[in-house]
Amino acid sequence: MINKDETLEELMINDLVLIQKQNGFRFGTDAVLLSDFARDIQSDSTLDLCSGSGIIPILLSHKSNAKRICGLEIQKDIHEMSVRSVKANNLEDKVNLSLGDLKNITSVFPKRSFNLVTCNPPYMKGGSGIECEDYSKHISRHEVACTLEDVIIAAESMLKIGGHFCMVHRPSRLTDIISLMRKHEIEPKRLRFVHPKAQSAPSLILVDGLLRGGNELKILPPLILYNDDGNETDELKCIYERR
């Protein structure tokens, strides 16, 4: 089940495991935070865009009550790897991961099929930042295969009316995120800033929008990841289910 260039990681959450490329793009705290941010949204059917290794669908299989969790990934080899991770966790009856381009998402899923759409998209605009030699890393970090607006358009088409779209991104893109969500009728409802330490500037944002929802945005208390001594905060320990 594991290829020579891969590793099998224990997620330390409900005995879940994940297959990853040794030198490819590897999931980070942002994926774990997003799955926790979306956990309490009532959803019979959830879709994760830019699904990559399948980390968010696999975590949501434990953290949420969704009966059906789907994922969509454009890279064939990464998709094939994520399918093996689903099998390794015996989640075939609950998690289904598909290969495809989110810009043509209606060729994979019918419109208005999901109560919840999640996404941990590429953070960097195309042509910005340092390009990665590894193409898998590059496509995961830069808007090469899709833009932020492509992601939001895909989410809008998949959501049922009143459905939620949850995303993790960088604070520097907040203006773009809110303006594009509103442009495509996803009204921002919850916003949370994530700070490495209490005195640090935020490094991530978590955003929850409602398709055709009313105009009211709730700013949640900041999420602090580490205490001044460098140890994890109690909330981060809780998110990772560390005792």
What are the tokens at 86? 């689903």
Which residue type is seen at 154? A
Of 229, 181, 224, 232, nearest to 204 by C-alpha is 224
Three-state secondary structure call for residue 37:
helix
Q: What is the structure's pLDDT at 139?
A: 67
pLDDT of residue 86: 98
DSSP 137: H
Each residue of 65-91: b (16+ CB within 10 Å) or e? ebebbbbbbbbeebbebbbbbbebbeb
List the one residue out of 232, 235, 216 whose CA is nearest residue 36.
235
Both structure tokens of 139: 């496509």
Q: State the pLDDT at residue 132.
A: 47
Alpha helices in the chain (DSSP H): 29-37, 55-63, 76-88, 135-141, 148-158, 174-183, 234-239
* Whole-angstrom distance, CA of residue 210 vs CA of residue 181: 9
- Would you state the pLDDT for residue 127? 53
Residues in CB range of 145: below 8 A, 6 or more apart:
74, 101, 122, 139
Return d(Cα 123, Cα 131) in angstroms, integer: 13
The pLDDT of residue 144 is 76
pTM of the model: 0.92
Nearest Cα to 37, choosing from 203, 212, 159, 164?
164
Please give the backbone phi and psi of residue 212, each rounded to the nearest 5 degrees, phi first: 60, 35
| Residue 142: predicted pLDDT | 60
Q: How far apart are CA 205 and CA 223, in angstroms?
A: 9
CATH number of 27-83+93-239: 3.40.50.150
The pLDDT of residue 26 is 85
For residues 23 and 178, give the distance between their C-alpha atoms in angstroms, rounded to a whole number: 34
> Could you report the average pLDDT of every consecutive run of 10 residues in the chain (243 residues)?
91 95 88 97 97 97 96 96 98 98 98 98 68 55 82 98 98 97 98 98 98 96 97 97 83
- Check residue 44 and report its DSSP letter: S
Closest residue by Cα to residue 25 from 138, 147, 118: 138
